[in-house]
Amino acid sequence: MSAEAKHTPGPWSLETVQTACGICHKIGPFPWRPGKTRSACIYADYPSHDGSSPVDVELLANARLIAAAPDLLEALKLTDAMLSGANMNAKVVERKARAAIAKAEPPA
């Protein structure tokens, strides 16, 4: 792999689907296109009935964080540019950062 390799461009979404023995948190750009995009899955085999076990909750939190990664990276780059003196609108940077955080964290 080249040192110049880039991650799959965002936005990434999160979809949880049933599998034969549990659930899969599908993360990535959808719809998936062979040779064009990549996606990932976090599997929870034999999850608790209501999804409230600590392991199930943690897996979903990890999936949300991964799905938010491109948004978090964009917000961090904007913040860095603003702090470095670039002419950035602080409200735009704040809005992007808050949206990325909200995507990464579970709803209240």
Tens digits of residue pLDDT in 30-62: 776 777 777 888 888 887 878 788 888 899 999
With vertex at residue 64, the alpha carbon angle to CA 61 and CA 69, rounded to the nearest 5 degrees, is 125
Q: What is the pLDDT of residues 57-77, one digit of tens each?
A: 899 999 999 999 999 999 999
The residue ranges of every structural domain in the chain are: 13-100
What pLDDT was estimated at residue 106?
73
Q: What is the pLDDT of residues 9-25, one digit of tens each?
A: 888 999 998 888 888 99
pTM score over 0.85: no
Q: In what order do the strands lie in the sheet with 13-19?
A: 13-19, 22-28, 40-45
Q: 1 pLDDT band (50/70/90 cuts)? A: very low
Quote the distance between the C-alpha of residue 30 and its chain's center: 13
